[in-house]
Structure 1
Amino acid sequence: MRRIDALAIGVAVFLAGGLLYAGLRVAGLDSFDAGIWSQALFLLGLLGWVSTYLFRVVGGKMTYDRQRDDYETAFLQKRLDEMSPEELEALQAELEQEKQDSANPS
């Protein structure tokens, strides 16, 4: 996100708060009650926005997590592509041995 985008979002939120307050005043609330209700609604909106961020963090769906997974996959694929057929066979044999060892723990 660019700096101008962050500023535009801040101005938009500020204006939305003013419009919400004005709308509540037009709806018949006095200035104190309109201020309380507009703050309460913005607090609920803020908590909702933060909760979506926390769900992405806990679920591992952040941009960094995706980039890291993509990098690891590409790195391992490149390593596999560079291996000779003999090295691939040795790796396959080692994996089969590990699979048998884990299936038959003695």
Structure 2
Amino acid sequence: MRRIDVLGIGIGVFVAGGVAYLVLQAAGMDNLEAGIWSQFLLVGGLVGWLLTYLFRVGTKNMTYNQQVKDYEDAVLQKRLEEMTPEELAKLQAEIEQEKQQATPPPTSKP
């Protein structure tokens, strides 16, 4: 995120708080009550944003993680493209061997 984006979001939140305050005053609340409710709305929004952020961190659904995954996929794809047919056949044989070792043999029930 660029600095100008951060400044824009900060100014937007500041303006949103002022607008909420003015709307609550226009709805008939006194100054103190409108201030408390506008702060409550802003803090509630902040907590909501924080929870979505923590959820994205927990599920590893963030931009950095996606960029790393895309890079790793591209590197692997390039390596596969550079392999000779013999190397590809050898790799495929190794993968099949690992699959057979990873899956336990079926057990028969009496």
AA in 1 matched with 2:102: S
AA in 2 matched with 1:56: R
Task: Give the TM-score normalised by structure 1.
Answer: 0.88
1:29 aligned counterpart, secondary structure:
coil
AA in 1 matched with 2:75: F
Q: Residue 32 of structure 1 corresponds to which residue in structure 2? A: 32
Post-superposition offset of 1:9? 1.7
Taking the aligned partners of 1:104 and 1:19, their CA distance within structure 2 comes to: 65
| Matched ranges for 1:79-98 at <5 A | 79-98=79-98
AA in 1 matched with 2:17: G
Taking the aligned partners of 2:71 and 2:97, their CA distance within structure 1 comes to: 28
Matched, 1:68 2:97: no
**Structure 2 unmatched ranges of 5 or more:** 106-110
- Provide Cα deviations, 1:37-76, integer angstroms capped at 9, x if missing partner: 1111111111111111112111221011111111111111
- Provide Cα deviations, 1:73-105, integer angstroms capped at 9, x if missing partner: 111111111111111111111112112222246
AA in 2 matched with 1:21: Y
Post-superposition offset of 1:2? 2.3
AA in 2 matched with 1:10: G
2:29 aligned counterpart, secondary structure:
coil
Q: More helix per residue: 1 or 2?
A: 1
Taking the aligned partners of 1:73 and 1:56, their CA distance within structure 2 comes to: 21
Q: Residue 9 of structure 1 corresponds to which residue in structure 2? A: 9
**Structure 1 unmatched ranges of 5 or more:** none
2:28 aligned counterpart, secondary structure:
coil
1:95 aligned counterpart, secondary structure:
helix
CA RMSD of aligned residues (A): 1.5
Task: Give the TM-score normalised by structure 2.
Answer: 0.85
Q: Residue 50 of structure 2 corresponds to which residue in structure 1? A: 50
AA in 2 matched with 1:91: L
Deviates more, 1:64-73 or 1:88-97: 88-97
